[in-house]
Structure 1
């Protein structure tokens, strides 16, 4: 977040990052309703900017489906897409505070997946049609400048800050609820089991403090590597748990799927 604030020309970007994380901590500590409203506002702003740039690109460029090659590069791309779509499972963290979790969680996950997939596809087509390889790592900024000039670049910088703030809010919310659930089941200190007006206060404060400490370290690459490693380990455990549940009914089918996944992992290593 600090990097995007610095690019936007905001002085003392590290101090501004700490201030924003303090704001996020207060919002998450206020409750699920307040956190949800804040997240919806951030998501609406992100979608407006990205969809707007994508639609402008649709009218400005001659978009065509990118050519795909059926080789190992496609598998590597699929692995990156999988990591790019991480975060949708965070909605499950709010299950204990939903009125109808069985319905609301499915609606939240699949609706957000559909919206994001549509925007990603639109921007990917624009990138394939108009972005030179030299600008591949700055494709969104390049497209925004081409279709909207300096205003487009400013919108992308704003969207980057908002995206980081949204991710921090979701991560802090999920982490605090996870600590609370683990304490309730006896796996973490009972301090995290305490709740203030239905909100896991100590867990939220610890999650906020860890986020601020990470921001003060200002080692983005280390944080990204740690986050990706934790994500892969987490989903490995979830997948193993799923196989354990399914093996009584569909052992042959689940075994084949696991072997296929392991083969893909070896090929893309």
Structure 2
């Protein structure tokens, strides 16, 4: 017998038929079944905090040294390219999100627009893409935690990077089990403090960089290594822009989704894109890109020390600690929602979508998110983790744009978004092309790992999910 995925609510399926709805709810003490829905508890500020808080971590506190070592001052252009690609996808994603404000984000849109096979591959790839991204953020946290302790006079060495990252990963997983509101409140507080620190740092650093305070810096050739490294660096740092898509994964918990989802996704990309470019400009002005590149993942600590002495260094390590914490926290939340959405559609076993009665959270999905994350954290491979996450998300983003075109072409009865993409069809077509093009500039190892994950996902579809029929979008 075919396994059928039946959503709650009204609406028609993607062929226009009336969906068959069979609500069944477990009433034991552990969980609801797949027909239970998550509560809408996130406001616009919560959505922005997830988007901004996720993106700030890698982009500002982990990547400047790595990017400058690859592209020189033109690393700022790499971040700008990433922002443009992200906006080309954020706009189509916003339209789809207002038409289908469901947990799962890109998986949900692609499965309803392009079918079960594409949905399965993307849903499982999104799970692992977020796992790789979260592991990357947690390893970055470990580096900053060690540096924070060193600035406070307690030197413990880089051997503690991975253990600290593992402890925090477990802690955030437990926090997210206890309620989405708890995780969102922590996210709001971290982002507010983080933006305050960055504002002061960028103001002083910017004035110094243009020669209004301090000693004037020696101008450096903008692209000392040529154009190609700018593009390869853009592919690396694109991990920095995964936050807007993570807003879409919690669409099912967003208040007033027709208004708040587009504002949160597009707004977070614009705000963070400006911060990235400004930060790279300030950082390369402090030391020059060759020396900045030698500082690696914690280069911004030395930039802070250069501008404001030990107080500046401490402010940056604290900011890096907060940023990587917010990225990891938001990513664990989003990873679990991706698993929840896929299992709710029966593309994974339905028990993975169970919701805890006490806290109203998908506790099984959170466990399936946290476990693989901790395994990857143990590797400590920062750049590989970042690029594999970027690869899988770029595939997702390209297919989001294709799904929008497909749904606009077919116009099923249930498709009634509150927001429509300006410049259609140019914007989604450019978004799809740009997403695929960036993949071509990644290292072969990252491409192979990403492709292998997609092949395994396709194999899962063939073995487990090919009989699943997805019904309806609402």
Instruction: Please name the residue that 1:166 is paired with.
Output: 326
Q: Deviations over 1:144-186 (max 9, x none)?
A: 1222112212222222222222121111111111111111111
**Alpha-carbon distance between aligned partners in 2 of 1:172 and 1:262, rounded to the nearest angstrom:** 24
Moved more, 147-156 or 182-191: 147-156
Instruction: Please name the residue that 1:116 is paired with.
Output: 272
| Aligned-residue offset at 1:32 | 1.4
Instruction: Please name the residue that 2:381 is paired with.
Output: 219
Instruction: Please name the residue that 1:177 is paired with.
Output: 337
Q: 1:99 to 1:164 in 2, by over 3 A?
A: same
Q: Deviations over 1:95-151 (max 9, x none)?
A: 111221122222222332333233223323323544312233345334312221122
Say yes or no: does 1:233 pair with 2:395: yes
Say yes or no: does 1:134 pair with 2:290: yes
Give the conservation status (yes or no) of the 8 Å contact 1:131–1:142. Answer: no
Give the conservation status (yes or no) of the 8 Å contact 1:194–1:201. Answer: yes
Unmatched 5+ stretches in structure 2: 1-140, 212-216, 412-422, 443-474
Instruction: Please name the residue that 2:244 is paired with.
Output: 88
Moved more, 159-168 or 171-180: 159-168
Residue pairs, 1:1-269, within 5 angstroms: 1-8=141-148, 9=150, 11=156, 12-62=160-210, 79=235, 82-137=238-293, 138=295, 140-197=300-357, 198-246=360-408, 257=430, 261=434
Q: 1:18 to 1:242 in 2, by over 3 A?
A: same
| Aligned-residue offset at 1:67 | 8.5
Larger Rg over CA atoms:
2
| Aligned-residue offset at 1:261 | 4.1
* Superposition TM-score, scaled by structure 1 size: 0.82
Please give the secondary structure, in 2, of the residue aligned with 1:188: coil
**Alpha-carbon distance between aligned partners in 2 of 1:220 and 1:103, rounded to the nearest angstrom:** 36
| Aligned-residue offset at 1:33 | 0.8
Higher relative contact order (CA 8 A, sep 6+): 2
| Aligned-residue offset at 1:74 | 5.9
Unmatched 5+ stretches in structure 1: none
* Superposition TM-score, scaled by structure 2 size: 0.49
